[in-house]
Amino acid sequence: MGGAMKNRKALLVGCGGISGGWLRAVPRVPGLSMVGFVDLDLARAKKRAEEFGWREAFIGARLEEALDKTRPDVVFDCTVPEARWSVAQTALAAGCHVFSEKPLADSMENARRICAAARAAGRIHAVMQNRRALVPIARFRRWIESGALGRLAQLDADFVLGAHFGGFRDRMRHVLLLDMSIHHFDMARYITGANAEWVWCREWNPPGSWYDHDAAAVAVFGMNDGSIFTYRGSWCGEGLNDSWQARWRAQGERGAAAWDGEEGLRAEVVAKTGSFRSEMTPLSPPEEYDAWRKDGHAGIIQYFFRCLEEGREPETVCHENLKSLAMVFAAIRSAAEHREVSLEDVLTER
């Protein structure tokens, strides 16, 4: 990303599955060292520290004690959503910045509390939305942002995956919307550069489902650029599965672009009108995108620290990410109440 990085000390809280993705990235972030590992399950904290070679680091089960002993610059929160508010409150009160796993919180109320606490502490609390850090999504977005397709009319995302997790997800309510669609809704905001104004959603549990509760949903969002975002998702679909990133199609007034969620990108725009169907010409994928987006977790963590150094807010800073989380909770409310829901109402809890 250019330029020297300051030395930074980080403390990890929550040493479960996803923390490995963060810890693999740490050695690729210049100047970053891990000073502490905290987990309610001490054995997990110890295991992570050993596995990744941070043998001098503090190991503990209590965040307050770890903060006091190690004085980190930033806390990486890889705990579960229910712990998010308490981790944020404690870390921000100790003067740390927080970089957290998704989702921002387990409720809109707790998410708003986190935003208020970060503002009061004058610290950054941001969310890891790693699906923004992929070269194909950056290129797909650029087609729209550059105006190559004309004004955006519609963005569609399809996500069907037969995910046999076992464990807590099989018992969880709103499992698709809460645990997965947060990524796709956040991606829609990134791709369009717009925010949702209203949503209509329906959730259901497909026949033969191995989940206790609804694992599929359709949603239609009205975006504040006048476009419509449609979403069809299922974690309970065997066959013809989509990418984890979902499959995307953007329709503009002069052309369309498609992204298969992996490396496949294509777009075409009108070359000549006058006959029943216009003549189209293909576009090659845009070359310009932010360099950090090609480096997964390491790129995102470097971007986070670069923002701190430059006194800028990262694009997934809590009060921005709140707008992605609100799409999830508005969709859940719409499905429960069988009506269209205003995002403003969910953001301000009316």
Ligand X SMILES: NC(=O)c1ccc[n+]([C@@H]2O[C@H](COP(=O)([O-])OP(=O)(O)OC[C@H]3O[C@@H](n4cnc5c(N)ncnc54)[C@H](O)[C@@H]3O)[C@@H](O)[C@H]2O)c1
Binding site for ligand X (CB under 6 A): 13-18, 38-41, 44, 78-81, 83, 101-102, 128, 130, 179
- In the complex, the smallest distance separating the C-beta of residue 228 from ligand X, rounded to whole angstroms, is 27
Q: Which is nearer to ligand X, 87 or 250 (CB)?
A: 87
- In the complex, the smallest distance separating the C-beta of residue 234 from ligand X, rounded to whole angstroms, is 18
Nearest residue to the partner ligand X, using Cβ? 16
- In the complex, the smallest distance separating the C-beta of residue 83 from ligand X, rounded to whole angstroms, is 4
Contact indicator for 110, 88 with CB cutoff of 8 Å: no
- In the complex, the smallest distance separating the C-beta of residue 81 from ligand X, rounded to whole angstroms, is 5
- In the complex, the smallest distance separating the C-beta of residue 280 from ligand X, rounded to whole angstroms, is 36
Q: Which is nearer to ligand X, 5 or 40 (CB)?
A: 40
How far separated are the first and last CA of the chain, in Å rounded?
43
Contact indicator for 175, 211 with CB cutoff of 8 Å: yes
Q: Tell me the CA distances in angstroms from 225 to 134, 147, 153, 154, 196, one per residue in order.
A: 24, 13, 9, 10, 9
Overall size of the chain counted in residues = 350
Q: Which is nearer to ligand X, 87 or 149 (CB)?
A: 87
- In the complex, the smallest distance separating the C-beta of residue 20 from ligand X, rounded to whole angstroms, is 8
3-state secondary structure labels for all residues of 154-200: EEEEEEECECCCCHHHHHCCCHHHHHHHHHHHHHHHHHHCCCEEEEE
- In the complex, the smallest distance separating the C-beta of residue 14 from ligand X, rounded to whole angstroms, is 3
The strand order across the sheet containing 247-252 reads 279-283, 265-272, 255-259, 247-252, 152-160, 228-234, 216-223, 196-204, 341-342
- In the complex, the smallest distance separating the C-beta of residue 208 from ligand X, rounded to whole angstroms, is 25
Q: Which is nearer to ligand X, 57 or 250 (CB)?
A: 57
- Half-sphere exposure (Cβ direction) of 151: Cα atoms closer than 13 Å: 7
Q: Which is nearer to ligand X, 57 or 223 (CB)?
A: 57
Q: Tell me the CA distances in angstroms from 175 to 289, 312, 328, one per residue in order.
A: 33, 34, 11
Contact indicator for 120, 195 with CB cutoff of 8 Å: no
Q: Which is nearer to ligand X, 48 or 97 (CB)?
A: 48
Contact indicator for 39, 59 with CB cutoff of 8 Å: no
Q: Which is nearer to ligand X, 227 or 302 (CB)?
A: 302
* DSSP state string for 121-160: HT--EEE--GGGS-HHHHHHHHHHHTTTT-SEEEEEEEEE
Q: Which is nearer to ligand X, 13 or 191 (CB)?
A: 13
